Chain A
Amino acid sequence: MKLDETIALLRQGKHVSEETVFELCLRAQELLMNEANVTHVDTPVTICGDIHGQLHDLLTLFDKSGGVENNKYIFLGDFVDRGFYSLESFLLLLTYKLRYPDRVTMIRGNHETRQITKVYGFYDEIVRKYGNSNVWRYCCEVFDYLSLGAIINGRVFCVHGGLSPDVTTINQIRAIDRKQEVPHEGAMCDLLWSDPDEVSTWSLSPRGAGFLFGKNEVDQFLHTNDFELIARAHQLVMEGYKEMFDGGLVTVWSAPNYCYRCGNVAAVLRIEDTLDRNYMIFEAVPAQDDVGNAIIPSKKPQMDYFL
Chain B
Amino acid sequence: MVKMTQDGVRETDSKRVKVYILEDNEWKDTGTGFCVGKVGEIDVLTPVVGVRDEEPGSLAAYLVVNDEGSPDKTLLWSKLEGNIEYQRQEETLIVWKDLSGQDIALSFEESTGCDALCDFIIQIQQTTETNISLIAVRSNDDGMGSVHEIITGPVNLPSNEMEQDEKSLMDALKIFNENMAFEYLRTGTIDFVLKSAYLLTLIHIFENAESKHRLRELLLLSNIVKTLTLYNHRDVLEQMVDDEHIVGIVGILEYDTEFPLSKANHRDYLLQAGPHFKEVVPLKSEEIKTIMKKTYRLQFLKDVVLVRFLDDHTFSMISDVILDSQNCIIDFIQTEPFLQRVMSLFEIDTEMEKKRDGVRMLHQCVQITKNLEHAEKSRFFKALVRAGLFKIFDFAFSMETDSGIRILATDMVISIIEHDILLINTVQNEHLHQTGLMDQGQRQSDGTLTLAQSSASSDISLLSILSQILIADKNMGLKEQVVQALNTLLHPEGCMGIDSDYNEPGNMDIIMGSDDQPSNGSGENPVMNNLSLQMKEYFNNFYTQVAPILFGPLMKSGQNNSDEDILLIYLVKLVSFVAAEHSRLVSREFILEHNILANISKLIASPHILQLQLTAVRCLKGIVSLNDDIYHKHMISNNLYQPIFDLLRRNLHNDNMANSCLLDFFKTIASQSLRAKELCSGESMNFILLNKHLVENFREDLMAVSCVPFAQEMIRINDTEEEPHNWEISRNKKTTKDVVKRTFSEVSESLGSSTEVKEEEVTSTFKKAMEKLAAAPAPKSIGKDFLGNGT
Contacts and interface: CB of A to CB of B under 8 A. Distances in A.
A178 interface: yes
A175 B708 CA distance: 7
B476 A172 contact: no
Interface stretch (B261-269, B421-429, B688-696): B261-269
A178 B708 CA distance: 16
B384 to A, nearest CB: 14
Contact of A307 (B259, B261, B365): B365
B411 A299 contact: no
B765 A34 contact: no
A111 B749 CA distance: 43
Contacts of A134: 407, 476-477, 480-481
B562 interface: no
Report which residue of B304, B309, B566 has the largest number of chain A beta carbons within 10 angstroms of its beta carbon: B304
A235 B296 CA distance: 35
A306 B364 contact: yes
B256 to A, nearest CB: 7
Contacts of B261: 286, 294
Contacts of B656: 33-36
B765 A296 contact: no
Given A171-B708, A286-B261, A301-B304, A33 B480 contact: no
Contact of B655 (A30, A131, A174, A293): A174
A131 to B, nearest CB: 7
Contacts of B183: none
Contact of B295 (A137, A145, A167, A307): A307
A29 interface: yes
A37 B295 contact: no
Contacts of B608: none
A307 B368 CA distance: 9
Interface in A258-307: 260-261, 286, 293-299, 301-307
Contacts of A138: 480
Contact of B765 (A127, A132, A145, A168): A168
Interface in B257-316: 259, 261-262, 264, 269, 274-275, 277-280, 292, 295-296, 299-300, 303-304, 307-309
Nearest to B655: A36
Interface in B519-570: 566
A298 B262 CA distance: 14
Given A35-B657, A286-B262, A307-B365, A177 B664 contact: yes
Contacts of A261: 308-309
A296 B305 CA distance: 10
Interface in A1-52: 18-19, 22, 26, 29-30, 32-37
B77 interface: no
B611 A306 contact: no
B364 A307 contact: yes
A169 B357 CA distance: 58
B707 interface: yes
Given A33-B611, A132-B411, A286 B259 contact: yes
B710 interface: yes
A177 B259 contact: no
B193 interface: no
B357 A306 contact: yes
Interface string B356-400: 010011001101100000000000000000000000000000000
B610 interface: yes
B36 interface: no
Given A35-B656, A177-B661, A304 B360 contact: yes
Given A175-B710, A302-B299, A307-B365, A132 B262 contact: no
Interface string B128-153: 00000000000000000000000000
Contacts of B611: 29-30, 33
Interface string A123-147: 0000110011110011000000100
B717 interface: no
A307 B297 CA distance: 11
Nearest to B310: A261
A306 B333 CA distance: 12
A119 interface: no
Contacts of B495: none
Interface string A231-274: 00000000000000000000000000000110000000000000
A134 B407 CA distance: 9
A176 interface: yes
Given A166-B769, A305-B275, A307-B292, A299 B303 contact: yes
A134 to B, nearest CB: 4
Contacts of A177: 618, 657, 660-661, 663-665
B417 to A, nearest CB: 15
B657 A132 contact: no
B658 interface: yes
B584 to A, nearest CB: 24
A167 B708 CA distance: 13
B609 interface: yes
A145 B292 CA distance: 43
Contacts of A176: 660, 664
Given A168-B765, A301-B269, A306-B279, A178 B308 contact: no
Contacts of A155: none
A184 interface: no
B292 A179 contact: no
A294 B610 CA distance: 44
Nearest to B309: A261
A84 interface: yes
Report which residue of A145, A169, A175 has the largest number of chain B beta carbons within 10 angstroms of its beta carbon: A175
A159 B295 CA distance: 43
B776 to A, nearest CB: 11
B243 to A, nearest CB: 17
B726 interface: no
B732 interface: no
B745 interface: no
Nearest to B263: A296
B707 A174 contact: yes
A226 B264 CA distance: 53
Given A167-B765, A307-B329, A298 B307 contact: yes
Contact of A296 (B264, B275, B280, B476): B264
Nearest to B768: A166
A153 B766 CA distance: 26
Contact of B296 (A26, A286, A302): A302
A303 B275 CA distance: 6
A137 B477 CA distance: 9
Report which residue of A36, A299, A304 has the largest number of chain B beta carbons within 10 angstroms of its beta carbon: A304
Contacts of B765: 166-169, 172
A199 B261 CA distance: 48
A35 B655 CA distance: 7
A132 B477 contact: yes
23 contacts: A18-B477, A33-B611, A33-B657, A34-B654, A36-B655, A36-B660, A84-B307, A132-B481, A133-B411, A134-B481, A168-B764, A172-B763, A172-B765, A177-B660, A296-B259, A302-B300, A303-B275, A304-B275, A304-B360, A305-B275, A305-B278, A306-B357, A307-B368
Which 9 pairs between the two chains have the least Cβ-Cβ distance? A36-B655, A134-B477, A294-B262, A306-B361, A177-B664, A175-B663, A260-B308, A33-B657, A304-B275
Given A175-B663, A301-B274, 14 more contacts: A33-B656, A132-B481, A134-B480, A165-B768, A168-B765, A171-B707, A172-B708, A172-B769, A174-B707, A177-B663, A294-B261, A298-B264, A298-B304, A304-B278
